[in-house]
Amino acid sequence: MTLLADLLSSLFDRRYGTFLPGGSDNRTMEELTAALLGAAGEVSGSTIACSILDKYEKANEDEKRAFFQHLAEDMAVSSETLRAALETYEQGQTKSSYEALVNAAEPKRQELIRRLNQVPDATRSLVAMRADLLRFSKDDDALQALNVDFRHLFASWFNRGFLVLRPINWENPANILEKIIAYEAVHAIDSWDDLRRRLQPVDRRCFAFFHPTMPDEPLIFVEVALTKGVPSSIQDLLSEDRAPIAAEDANTAVFYSISNCQKGLAGISFGNSLIKQVAADLSLELPGLKTFVTLSPIPRFRNWIESKDLGPTPEDPKHLKALAAHYLIAAKRKNGMPLDPVARFHFGNGAEVHQIHSDADLSAKGQQQSAGVMVNYLYNLAKVSQNHERFATSHDIAASSDIKSLSAAAEKLLNRSPNDG
Amino acid sequence: MTLLADLLSSLFDRRYGTFLPGGSDNRTMEELTAALLGAAGEVSGSTIACSILDKYEKANEDEKRAFFQHLAEDMAVSSETLRAALETYEQGQTKSSYEALVNAAEPKRQELIRRLNQVPDATRSLVAMRADLLRFSKDDDALQALNVDFRHLFASWFNRGFLVLRPINWENPANILEKIIAYEAVHAIDSWDDLRRRLQPVDRRCFAFFHPTMPDEPLIFVEVALTKGVPSSIQDLLSEDRAPIAAEDANTAVFYSISNCQKGLAGISFGNSLIKQVAADLSLELPGLKTFVTLSPIPRFRNWIESKDLGPTPEDPKHLKALAAHYLIAAKRKNGMPLDPVARFHFGNGAEVHQIHSDADLSAKGQQQSAGVMVNYLYNLAKVSQNHERFATSHDIAASSDIKSLSAAAEKLLNRSPNDG
Amino acid sequence: MTLLADLLSSLFDRRYGTFLPGGSDNRTMEELTAALLGAAGEVSGSTIACSILDKYEKANEDEKRAFFQHLAEDMAVSSETLRAALETYEQGQTKSSYEALVNAAEPKRQELIRRLNQVPDATRSLVAMRADLLRFSKDDDALQALNVDFRHLFASWFNRGFLVLRPINWENPANILEKIIAYEAVHAIDSWDDLRRRLQPVDRRCFAFFHPTMPDEPLIFVEVALTKGVPSSIQDLLSEDRAPIAAEDANTAVFYSISNCQKGLAGISFGNSLIKQVAADLSLELPGLKTFVTLSPIPRFRNWIESKDLGPTPEDPKHLKALAAHYLIAAKRKNGMPLDPVARFHFGNGAEVHQIHSDADLSAKGQQQSAGVMVNYLYNLAKVSQNHERFATSHDIAASSDIKSLSAAAEKLLNRSPNDG
Amino acid sequence: MTLLADLLSSLFDRRYGTFLPGGSDNRTMEELTAALLGAAGEVSGSTIACSILDKYEKANEDEKRAFFQHLAEDMAVSSETLRAALETYEQGQTKSSYEALVNAAEPKRQELIRRLNQVPDATRSLVAMRADLLRFSKDDDALQALNVDFRHLFASWFNRGFLVLRPINWENPANILEKIIAYEAVHAIDSWDDLRRRLQPVDRRCFAFFHPTMPDEPLIFVEVALTKGVPSSIQDLLSEDRAPIAAEDANTAVFYSISNCQKGLAGISFGNSLIKQVAADLSLELPGLKTFVTLSPIPRFRNWIESKDLGPTPEDPKHLKALAAHYLIAAKRKNGMPLDPVARFHFGNGAEVHQIHSDADLSAKGQQQSAGVMVNYLYNLAKVSQNHERFATSHDIAASSDIKSLSAAAEKLLNRSPNDG
């Protein structure tokens, strides 16, 4: 009971202000980071950590960049030390030579970040800090190396075992729901009424991963529609005046929107686990569900068509679908990976291309990016593992025979074009 | 609300059995670990992780040791790879050379452990696994190196920022309270009635750290008595027929027992944070509290006396107290650290020796280990940081002037002895 | 912990459908009510109660009225039985003669309603049922008598001791918050953004009473602004671009809106308790709060002015305020009670008229009902009990001396009018 | 979420003392009750209620009795007023004449009790108050009438719709579990280990009803064993070294102990609802359960045998079982109800006598009361309603044909005896 009370009361603390001293530590950031890593850090660490996080939050862009540069340059791995440790280790692999090696290989800034993470809500601040870092590090090798360390720590902290899957529904707190509205990245939620239509009907579900230290911050969420049959139009799926069906009558679960929420967690992948966990949980709750598909955009499809010099984008649905099939399964980057980012994600999860629909997204964004075409990726739980393995090892893409035929048909259209992707 | 529901329902799952397939994967441990680290591990990881943890739980001692040896020997850092990565890095510090370096410096087994930690309750299993490892690794360099990696990961996972401080009281679940009984390491709790006497009176408190993934497993706990004045006898403090005082009337908080609970978390230090957090929280709740002390055993005191060839242990309380003062502040190991393990812990936290009492612990254990003597370490919040720093840098020990006089008095007694500790 | 789980899971049941048989009981309502009151009712009561509530929910207006008439006419107190019981009781006051009297004095329909209340969510249905009854009973003595029984039972069930005071804030579930929007009866909340402005700033509070069986249905709520000084304009108070103050800096708590939520609980008074409880809780949390006032409309003020034949409503603020003061403290119904319903409520709680402000509510509704005038009723906790008693016994109204002067000034204006209220 | 927080914080309040003034109201109980019922009671009611409950709690036996007598004598129904109201009502049944009648028929003490119930934890105090009253009222008509009013109010407050069914398990708070130990009335729980054996194994369950205002006070609880087949010995069922079976393998749920917890709720019946609700919930969770039986003592069996002048109690199991069958289905009180109180309870719920076992309870209590014999009452959900009805209307008892044969066999034995029960 008291764990719950603690969680509740920490939420409460956040609302009504915090007991933290904060206050007026006049030391510079460099002095503070040195203190936190030094002897005092072991005893008064939380006060110092507070001061650093506080100062960082109030810092301007230049000060933030300077802070990162301090970490990146003054707290990097020392190759001399590492070389020496490696030599000792090679001469005799003992506990102490290994410990020395491990210590030499880990830059001090990792310990710094761990020590920062000892005050309430620090994890949230550190995630925000990395979001800043990602902006600054674009063309800066040292900052990119620093980012490698952040990512390494976050991968450990946000390990699947620590995430909690929670249903998002109309009984959720408003301060969480407003984040769902804000973070929805695929099909914008334009009002609280729109949100309610996605959460409240008995044939709709939404799930998010949370981390225990950030209980009101979804990390990633997926919106699900329970349907009879595989849907072919997002506007139909989200129509205001559709009649809900009983959940027990559905045979298909449609993952129609997946959104990452935290810029500071870029590169820490949750989507694969989320889809599989949700599929497993829904199967258990609703044994009538037999098919798990997405209804996904093809965001770079129009770009690709235009790059093909085919003249104006074809309007014939057949042509469009054929081209889309070809784009999804045959258009590749130099490294052999699919051109389309959404496709890469689902193939990487072991999904296969199931059906393609024209006039499936009539929104401005859907027309502009995907030429109105959408695709169902199928999660066949009996095959995802094998599909994934073939994709991971040889970039093989799984697709239904219909899709393969469509793609073959597209070749004729494209023969006119010299630069097949 | 749903976070709570999730926590509750995961507790529920644990009680009524789990949905996990487990089942009968016939592969060997080596095949399974390879699979978990390979491509399939990214997609079917949770099934494989389950199988490994399941097999491990059922393994006998030889099989467990073999599993550890596989991790220790086949998944170690490759010094060739690391050397190569280091050379590339020295030639140019880019994101990719740094990433390669980091990857080369981290043994694969760390990733293995992270991937094991993706199924419900895996953290608990991994902590238990390390408790086994510690038994096996006593004289084995490779296993000790493996242990370094476990400790490194656990230090990250059990970072202070992820721990939750919870009051332990008579309203707590019985399955948690029985662990308090089991884990109490200083003054044994001999029945549920004894437990109730330590939790229910209004002048008693108990607090523990928990980790969100192990909500019914205390990591460390401290028992506190609220008193008027500094106590000088543990039997008085725990007497069955004492009359409780109103918490508001107390001026002193006495930390009379601190116990670590998880063998598998050895070397991950929580005690310092726990005492400080509890002291801070109690100050806030009860502004009348002015003094924070322990009432601690001196577990190696009698051993040390006997090593001094003083003849039979002195019975004169004055002599005993003088010797104890001397033992605590002057008896050192070769590395300059205090001989007494409890003293090392409190000095390391910045505490000082405040008072010494003879006939303070009349139990068999107290007589046998501490010759009946106990000590109050004082946590003076204004001084702990400075005390700690002086102790950490030059092994300086803080003590009241009384204690220093006592210790000086002991010198005479000890002059008779040639081998002053 | 399991109480919480139960509450959570009953919420869950409500969302995902219910386990209740419902089904197709073909008996008539009269047969079902007879069965529920008969022997079978003691054993299979919940099934029968379900059927009745189910049938009622699906009934049309005529069927509902017929159901009420059945209760009103066929399950009334029998005056013969009561007379006989009374005579026996007068002859000898024993346990059994008293029991017989009590039974005779209580109509069977009360037991019927209690037996209906044994299935999940029945309380909510019965409250809705009474809301219907109130519509039907306007001119019907028998239905009004039935209503007396409903009110009697509800007064017992919704006894203050069973109500739970909960803060309403932006962390509340959306399904509760949408009810706050819907039920706000004084200053309409026109969007979720408007709602957030009333809940989220640190100088705003909202509290509601709930009943444990209807955890997502507020019974009554009050909105509070924390201010420096007593406010004189509702538009200023609710302004979109005002700057919040720190709660600790406030010296005044303003109850600016109180709304009853459940038509079916008409006549069960919660407002008095709510204001006092909230005032007590806020005092405890924020010792800086010295003044507890309302900022209230005067909803029948313009009506009253017009009834006075004063010509067009005066525009001079002085005149308006004088008239309002006079209206509040001197305009009475025949029974000696104040004409204004809001005034009656606050005087009945022991409040006094503190200040009157013109141009205080510029909304259409404020102009139309209150001629833009608003009033602060003061809750002086040291005086409410005495104020209440004088009001209850002799209709004496407490008012500041300013208000009394204003009222006196109004007499001149009104002398022109023959029909002083 | 805040409902949970409120519940938690009210638990907290109870632990750490309460904010209530209490204090030193010097008025007498009579003055205080008058004040609570008077005008002041509407505004300052909670302070007065607190004072009364406080004074009551500290009162000695004479003062308590005087308090009850005040309620019983000075706040009774006035037969003159009631007669007058009845006459008016007979002359014209209007809302106001009915309201007057209802008011006249309800003694003021009922309103007093309702007004007492407005402070935190008052319900608990009032339940304790009635437990006192029951002691005092044995031979006192006026106090028995007062008790009628208490029971009437409690029947309304503890209406089935307000009760919450909670599983009692080893994860429950110790302060609740210790009450289970204390309240177990059938087969004493002699230690926390014994308690754990009844709660923790996967083939054991326990459930209790709670009221929201007394979340740590069970009202009634039932202990259940999940078994293969119908058990014939309580010692086997509770054996320390039995091996639990998987819950899914059980075909029978055995209600082997039902205990009421609150003396102050005597006469408010929960047992029937509890058994049915638990049976329904278990059916849902474990579809393999086909049989719901008790394993019950026959507490007045030996008494009855001895009253029959049969000589020493027979030792032949056949004879004992035959006599027990006869006792259960044929031994009646003058009013036609079964002699045995446990039998009355289960027949009243619609259960039937299923099997009888000798040497089924070897405990001292079992030998002394039941001559070691126990009985399974069967809850056949398809028949309970009809069984109940026949029992309620004509005292017909349902029994298996085996039992009827046994009973017939007993007649021979009893022919020797002149006073067949």
Length of chain B: 421
pLDDT at A23: 52
C-alpha distance from B295 to closest chain D C-alpha (Å): 25
Residue C313: Cβ within 10 Å count: 16
Strand partners of residue A355: A376
Considering only CB atoms, C175 lies closest to which of A4, A171, A175, namely: A171
Q: Are C308 and C421 in contact (CB under 8 A)?
A: yes
Encode pLDDT of C80-136 as tens digits. 999 999 999 999 889 999 999 999 999 999 999 999 998 888 999 999 999 999 999
Task: List own/partner pairs for D338-341 with CB under 8 A and 24 or more apart.
Answer: D338/D397, D339/D300, D339/D304, D339/D421, D340/D298, D340/D299, D340/D300, D340/D301, D341/D299, D341/D300
Encode pLDDT of B344-400 as tens digits. 999 988 999 999 999 999 999 999 999 999 999 999 988 888 898 899 888 999 999
Encode pLDDT of D272-329 as tens digits. 889 989 998 999 999 999 999 999 999 999 999 988 877 777 788 899 999 999 999 9
Amino acid, single-letter form, for residue C361: D
C-alpha distance from C407 to closest chain D C-alpha (Å): 27
CA dist., res. D131 & res. C31, Å (int): 39
- Determine which of B256-265, C58-67, D268-277 has the lowest per-residue pLDDT on average: D268-277
Q: Is the CB of residue A14 less than 8 Å away from at least one CB of chain C?
A: no
C-alpha distance from B115 to closest chain A C-alpha (Å): 8
**Which of B12, B171, B206 is the best residue to mutate to test the D interface, defined by the most D CB atoms within 10 Å of its own CB?**
B171
Tell which residue, C202, C232, C49, C226, has the closest CA to residue C123. Answer: C49
Instruction: Please compute the mean of the pLDDT values over residues A118-141 and round it to a whole number.
Output: 93
Residues 6+ apart with CB under 8 A from C113: C126, C149, C150, C153
CA dist., res. C150 & res. C268, Å (int): 11
Q: Is the CB of residue D12 less than 8 Å away from at least one CB of chain B?
A: no
Over 90: is that where the pLDDT of B65 sits?
A: yes
E strand or H helix at A206: strand A204-210
DSSP tag of C78: P
Contact flag D118-C273 (C-beta cutoff 8 Å): yes
Phi, psi of B169 (to 5 degrees): -140, -175
Q: What residue of C is the nearest CA neighbor of A215?
A: C171
Tell me the HSE value of B248 on the side-chain side, using a 13 A CA sphere.
Answer: 2
Encode pLDDT of C208-225 as tens digits. 999 999 999 999 999 999
Q: What is the ipTM of this complex?
A: 0.86
User: Which residues in chain D have Cβ-Cβ distances shorter than 8 Å to A11?
Assistant: 1
Considering only CB atoms, B384 lies closest to which of A43, A169, A272, namely: A43
Instruction: Please compute the mean of the pLDDT values over residues B293-304 and round it to a whole number.
Output: 94
C window 231-270, beta carbon within 8 A of B: none
Instruction: Please compute the mean of the pLDDT values over residues D37-41 and round it to a whole number.
Output: 73
How does residue B18 score in pLDDT terms, banded at 50, 70 and 90?
A: very low
CA dist., res. B108 & res. B102, Å (int): 12
pLDDT at C23: 52
Q: How is C185-215 classified by DSSP, letter by letter?
A: -SS---SHHHHHHHHSSTTEEEEEEE-TT-T
C-alpha distance from A279 to closest chain C C-alpha (Å): 18
CA–CA distance from C29 to each of C32, C64, C109, D191, D389 (Å)?
Answer: 5, 10, 13, 53, 20
- Domain limits of chain B? 15-157, 161-294, 297-414
Tell which residue, D4, D282, D12, has the closest CA to residue D120. Answer: D12
Structure tokens at C82: 């009561």
A255: left (phi over 0), alpha (psi -120 to 50) or beta: beta
Contact flag D7-C6 (C-beta cutoff 8 Å): no
Over 80: is that where the pLDDT of A223 sits?
A: yes
C-alpha distance from D2 to closest chain A C-alpha (Å): 9
C-alpha distance from C4 to closest chain A C-alpha (Å): 9
CA–CA distance from D103 to each of C112, C149, C181, C232, D92 (Å)?
Answer: 20, 11, 38, 44, 16
CA dist., res. A244 & res. A198, Å (int): 11
Q: Are C114 and D159 in contact (CB under 8 A)?
A: yes
Contacting subunits of C (3+ beta carbon pairs below 8 A): A, B, D
CA dist., res. A3 & res. B217, Å (int): 12
Q: Mean pLDDT score of chain C, rounded to an integer?
A: 88
Asked if the C297-414 domain carries CATH number 1.20.950.20, the reply is no
**C105 or B8, which is more confident?**
C105
Q: Is the CB of residue D11 less than 8 Å away from at least one CB of chain B?
A: yes
Q: Are D59 and D128 in contact (CB under 8 A)?
A: no
Contact flag C145-D98 (C-beta cutoff 8 Å): yes
Q: Is the CB of residue C117 less than 8 Å away from at least one CB of chain D?
A: yes
pLDDT at C311: 72
Q: Is the CB of residue B273 less than 8 Å away from at least one CB of chain A?
A: yes
Encode pLDDT of C281-338 as tens digits. 999 999 999 999 999 999 999 999 988 877 777 788 899 999 999 999 999 999 889 9
- Cα four-point dihedral sign B213, B215, B221, B222: positive
CA A10 to chain centre: 26
Q: Are B374 and B298 in contact (CB under 8 A)?
A: yes
Instruction: Please compute the mean of the pLDDT values over residues B313-341 and round it to a whole number.
Output: 90
E strand or H helix at D280: helix D271-285
CA dist., res. B295 & res. B226, Å (int): 12
pLDDT at A13: 36
Amino acid, single-letter form, for residue A363: S
Contact flag D385-C79 (C-beta cutoff 8 Å): no
pLDDT at D39: 65
C-alpha distance from D245 to closest chain C C-alpha (Å): 24
Tell which residue, B57, B60, B40, B56, has the closest CA to residue B48. Answer: B40
- Determine which of B251-255, B388-392, C364-368, D357-361 has the lowest per-residue pLDDT on average: B388-392
Q: Is the CB of residue B202 less than 8 Å away from at least one CB of chain D?
A: yes
Tell which residue, D175, D187, D169, D199, has the closest CA to residue D257. Answer: D187
**B192 or A25, which is more confident?**
B192
Can you list the positions of beta strands (E) in B70-213?
164-167, 204-210
Asked if the B161-294 domain carries CATH number 3.40.630.180, the reply is yes
CA dist., res. B322 & res. A258, Å (int): 70
Considering only CB atoms, D192 lies closest to which of B4, B192, B202, namely: B192
Specify the pTM.
Answer: 0.89
- Cα four-point dihedral sign A53, A55, A61, A64: negative
Q: D402, exposed or middle or buried, with CB in 10 Å at 0-12, 13-18, 19+? A: middle
Q: Same CATH topology for B15-157 and B161-294?
A: no
Over 90: is that where the pLDDT of D364 sits?
A: yes
Torsion angle in degrees (nearest 10) through CA of B165, B170, B175, B176? 20
Q: What residue of D is the nearest CA neighbor of B2?
A: D1
CATH superfamily, region A15-157: Malonyl-CoA decarboxylase, oligemerization domain (1.20.140.90)
Instruction: Please compute the mean of the pLDDT values over residues D220-240 and round it to a whole number.
Output: 96
- Cα four-point dihedral sign B307, B308, B311, B313: negative
By DSSP bridging, strand D252-260 and strand D291-294 are: parallel
Tell which residue, D53, D73, D145, D150, has the closest CA to residue D110. Answer: D150
Instruction: Please compute the mean of the pLDDT values over residues C270-279 and round it to a whole number.
Output: 88
How big is the B-C interface in CB pairs under 8 Å? Answer: 15
Over 80: is that where the pLDDT of D391 sits?
A: yes
Q: How is B380-416 classified by DSSP, letter by letter?
A: -TTTHHHHHHHHHHH----B-HHHHHHHHHHHHHHHT
CA dist., res. C68 & res. C53, Å (int): 13
Considering only CB atoms, C8 lies closest to which of B1, B11, B173, namely: B1
The helices-and-strands tally (H runs, E runs) of chain A is 19, 7
Q: Is the CB of residue D9 less than 8 Å away from at least one CB of chain B?
A: no
Tell which residue, B20, B237, B251, B238, has the closest CA to residue B121. Answer: B20
Residues 6+ apart with CB under 8 A from C44: D384, D385
